[in-house]
């Protein structure tokens, strides 16, 4: 998305009153190109990101596409400590899945017993 860099402004969202983190936003100064709009709409359909649109339906802003922002979109605003614990859990689960694939399915791909 380097070609959009000059047209996007990033907004960090920390609420000091409630001590909660909210998903950060990327705002568009001009509507994104058609291909970008299509991808963003697909991601929003699967609830991976959140889109804000104006009254004409043009995309004004979107949540950033990072794992931390994904977790904030799915689980809602949360404290930084809770988000860090959740992120660590995602990493542990991801590593467990990767090891399961490597040692469970690896023998099918590479043949023989590779344990």
Tokens, residue 82:
């809770």
* Ranges of each domain in the chain: 2-78, 79-115
Residues 34 and 36: their CA atoms lie apart, in Å, by: 5
Residues 93 and 101: their CA atoms lie apart, in Å, by: 12
Residue tagged 């960090």 (tokens): 12
The predicted structure's pLDDT at residue 8: 53
The predicted structure's pLDDT at residue 13: 80
Residue tagged 């047209």 (tokens): 7
Q: What are the pLDDT digits (tens) for 45-64?
A: 999 999 999 888 889 999 98
Q: How confident is the model at residue 3 (pLDDT cuts 50, 70, 90)?
A: very low
Q: What are the pLDDT digits (tens) for 66-78?
A: 999 999 999 999 9
- Mean of per-residue pLDDT scores for the chain: 85
Residues 4 and 61: their CA atoms lie apart, in Å, by: 13
């Amino acid at each position: 998305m380097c070609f959009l860099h000059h047209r996007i402004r990033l907004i960090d969202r920390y609420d000091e009153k409630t001590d909660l983190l909210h998903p950060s936003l990327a705002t568009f100064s001009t509507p994104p190109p058609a291909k970008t709009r299509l991808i963003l709409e697909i991601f929003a359909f699967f609830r991976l990101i959140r889109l804000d649109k104006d009254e004409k339906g043009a995309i004004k802003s979107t949540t950033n596409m990072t794992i931390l922002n994904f977790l904030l979109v799915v689980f809602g605003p949360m404290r930084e400590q809770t988000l860090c614990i959740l992120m660590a859990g995602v990493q542990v689960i991801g590593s467990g899945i990767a090891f399961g694939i490597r040692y469970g399915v690896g023998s099918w791909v590479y043949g023989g017993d590779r344990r």
